[in-house]
Amino acid sequence: MRAAVRVFALARQLAGQESLVVDLPSGATVADLRRAIADQYPALASLVAHTLFAVNTQYASDDTPIPADADLACIPPVSGG
């Protein structure tokens, strides 16, 4: 399955684009998505381990399944004050 993932902040800067397209196996979870992004977009490999993911506007854990046509977002940690 091909999935589009919106990226924000530092992830967007490192990717050089607003969204990513990743290939995922059928029945993929957020953990699979995390690995796919690291493999398919090496510039994000070190960051993706520390990001939050949202599936259909809900924060998701690594074991959350990703349905076909899901709205996916990659939200890196932020700092500042």
- Stated pTM of the model: 0.92
pLDDT at position 81 is 53
pLDDT bracket for residue 77 (50, 70, 90): confident
pLDDT tens digit sequence for 18-67: 999 999 999 999 999 999 999 999 999 999 999 999 999 999 999 999 99
Domains along the sequence of the chain with CATH:
2-75 (3.10.20.30)
The dihedral sign for the CA sequence 31, 49, 7, 43? negative
Q: In this predicted structure, what is the pLDDT of residue 80?
A: 60
For residue 78, the model assigns a pLDDT of 77
Contact status, residue 72 vs residue 33, Cβ threshold 8 Å: yes
